[in-house]
Chain A
Amino acid sequence: MIGETRRAPGGGPMSVAEIEHELGKLRANEDGTLALRSSVLNLIVVTDEMSAPDVTRSVSNLAGRYPARAIVLISDPEGERNVDAQLSAFCNVRGGGGAQVCAEQVTIHAEGPPANHLESLAGPLLIPDLPVFLWYPGAFSPHSPEFAAMADLADRVIVDSAAREDREDSLREMADLIEGEGMPAIGDLQWVGLSPWRSLLADAFAAPERAGELEKIASVELLYAPGGECRALLLVGWLASALGWSPKDLSRDGNHRRVRFDGPSGEVAAHLSPDSPDARLRRVRLRSADHSVQVSRHRERREVKTTVMRGEDLVAERTVHLGHFDLGVLVGEELQFRGCDETYEAALRAAVEILNL
């Protein structure tokens, strides 16, 4: 994406009107013409001082693909009372006519008491009539002081369940959250990262002669890297909710988890093993009495291979791209989705049910 980032000089305390005025000025080109503003959504990001540079970079990458008014709130409730704003616009040239198009970013440092009332800062800056996405790139808890009021502004909340150290609690809190009355729809980046895996597993059972095997699955093995628990648990949760398995018991052996389910044709044993040195999710293997389906990704490259065996015979095999899954892509996927993702919610409930055994 070729483009330029324009920054308004100065910064500091500003009124809403001043911010709007300065943003308008940022769109003025050197030759006196005015660049267009193009926006399809509002994106509010809540982050802290440490992660701010990385987050800002992701947001301006996103601006290329999902033009938005981005409001980045850097919150520090412990600091001395202060609110200051910095403005920038990411402008690029589109098409042969050379028209400039800009997406805007307002970065607000909120320290002290205002940090607990971020909604009063974000609300007035939203562009009317466009959906509002609220993204927590770092550790997220629905119990944080500002969250409830922020959630009221949002149509969709995007979080990363793996950003916290206590990932099990993180999933539990998310599961509570989706049950909450009047909550906006929730999206989890760990779930988005599973899309290609889910798609590939579904493909492996697309042949009608194998679709029936889904009911006969007796074991699941998941190999992932430490830190990938959320993904692994959501994947097992998804299989359980889609295939009608109810969790019976959970045993832990170090970091390994073994879960037993009641499936439609008997017991299903799942083994979650965090022994992969690299990829967050490395391999998924499903077995029935006479079939085994394995999806595994390449150690270095973003390629993933599906193998279907009947007994010792190779029935089908395929290698495809896993796709790119950097932060921008994951968030981008969520920005395209509107409404409630029922499959995710069912998977999350099932994952938490396993954790609570």
Chain B
Amino acid sequence: MPKTSKPQNLEPKTSQNLLRDEQRLPRVPEPGVVVIFGASGDLTSRKLVPALYELASQRKLPMEFAIVGISRTEMGHEEFRKKLRETLEEHVSGGVSDDVWESFSSGIFYLAGDSKKPETYGELKGFLKEIDSERGTRGNRAFYLSASPSLFPTIVGNLGEAGMNEGEDGGWSRLVVEKPFGRDLGSAQELNEEIRRHFDETQIYRIDHYLGKETVQNILALRFANGIFEPIWNQHYVDHVQITVAEDIGVGTRGAFYEEAGALRDIVQNHVMQVLCLTAMEPPVAFDAESLRAEKVKVLKAVRPIPESEVDGNAVRAQYTSGWVWGEEVRGYREEENVDPESVTETYVALRLFVDNWRWAGVPFFLRAGKRMPKKATEIAIQFHSSPHTPFARRDTEGLEPNVLVVRVQPEEGVSLKIGAKVPGTGFEVSSVNMDLLYGTAFLEEASDAYQRLLLDLMLGDPTLFIRADEAEGAWNILDPVMRRWAEEKSVEFYPSGTWGPEEADELLGQDGREWRRP
């Protein structure tokens, strides 16, 4: 596809509104239209429209706002609205008011069209202009790619060809790309290249909803808003780090999708790598898109590549077999719907990585992600070195373990620190106790949904919590040798559902005398 001219002046200046009270009232984005490709899909009715409805209802969106859904199914605006309304109740927390819906949905439109055909884009362009003049959306557009990933390059190319990589009349144009960002390094680079032919990196918002979660953002607050953690957050004090992203659910109805993906692509490449970055990164100079993302990329660059020949000693893949989870008997992965009975797709991954930089030299990072674990849990455990010398008698310190700082992202967000304390009594017996802070309990405000947060950031033009191209590629780069090795060697370990993974994963730590925590 030929290169189209990329827009220059991306963000117009906002005009002064004397009534805007920045100190106390929420910031409201400029007028604009969100255009959703793949609008008849699940994501639109389950996440995007409910999130936008709630934002609108809470007065967080501008008055001049519209949504345009595009997909191949023939239907009219009214039918599309009706379809969205039917399932809306299930997906919004506060209930739906008819008046608010009526007002909100008057800005929802539908365009039936084949996203592979250029004429669809001509039609879209004309339609958006009409909306601009009727609803005052001022030529600002955000294109949300929620269609099948195989269509991304086509859609982006056609948008560029039709000149929609620029907003109308000096407005802005932004592009939202849902994961997966490719399925390996090569395809990710290809996709990024395709997209950047038409859109500038500053216009591209790659969405990983994990970063929209309050709890994930809190990792940054814990590290960089507190002076006491940073001085010990390095190889002098830290023995190793464990990052766990565990789910209790199986693949459910997503068997066909999962067969193609596997845990490495589905969870590790994005969520786990993001948590690794937030845990290991240097303090950014500012909490803005470029500073934060630059630091994350540095971490990914510092991760020691695993040579293909050493994959087996540093990575474990496994699959769940039948077992019991929370009092319920569940079937094994190979018995799931649309799954090959001889599938070697992994539902569990454990990795040992090293971040080769001044801060982390020699500190192993153990990462694991799996389905059908005993419970849903995401946590980062920083295991510190044992005290160099203990003055207490050995038999008195048997219950004493090294300090561990655990940052729990879910289920109960918080921080706990394992410290040694004297057991009351006449001797000097010392034992470990947990000092627990559930900071979820300090701020019981209903945390807003990750999509609400990210869609609002998108409208406000703040890409801080979105993934930059080099981040996506950096994460693939680390995992590429593992994927190559696994593609060659078709075998997989097994673990019963409701357990914390296979024995081989235990050995990954056991060889250095370490062990996995029980989250």
- Which residues of A come within 8 Å of B, CB atoms? 1, 36, 38-40, 64-67, 94-97, 99, 101, 195-196, 198-209, 211, 214, 239, 242-243, 298, 301, 303, 305-306, 308, 315-321, 323, 337, 341-344
Contact = CB atoms under 8 A, between A and B. Distances in A.
B15 A96 contact: no
Interface stretch (B197-205, B296-304, B436-444, B468-476): B436-444
A341 B100 contact: no
A303 B100 contact: yes
Given A101-B441, A211-B16, A298 B25 contact: no
> Quick one: which of B135, B441, B442, B443 has the most chain A CB within 10 A?
B441
Determine the main DSSP class of B at the interface with A.
loop
Nearest to B101: A319
Interface in B1-50: 15-21, 23-26, 28, 30-31
B206 to A, nearest CB: 28
Interface of B: 15-21, 23-26, 28, 30-31, 56-59, 62-64, 94, 97, 99-100, 102-103, 135-136, 138, 375, 411-413, 436-438, 440-445
Contact of B19 (A96, A205, A318, A321): A205
B167 to A, nearest CB: 14
Given A38-B438, A64-B444, A200-B59, 12 more contacts: A99-B412, A196-B59, A202-B20, A203-B28, A205-B19, A239-B19, A298-B99, A301-B99, A308-B63, A318-B103, A320-B57, A321-B100
Nearest to B56: A320
A319 B100 contact: yes
A343 B63 contact: no
Given A203-B28, A207-B136, A319 B103 contact: yes
Contact of A203 (B63, B102, B413, B443): B63
Contacts of B100: 303, 319-321
A187 to B, nearest CB: 10
Contacts of A211: 15-18
Contacts of B442: 38-40, 67
Nearest to A243: B18
5 contacts: A99-B412, A242-B18, A243-B19, A321-B58, A343-B23
A295 B444 CA distance: 32
A86 to B, nearest CB: 24
A99 B18 contact: no
Contacts of A305: 99, 103
A200 B20 CA distance: 10
Contacts of B437: 36
B444 A97 contact: no
Nearest to B62: A206
A274 B94 CA distance: 32
Contacts of B411: 95-97
Contacts of B445: 65
A328 B56 CA distance: 24
Contacts of A39: 442
Contacts of A195: 24-25
Contacts of B24: 195, 337, 341, 343-344
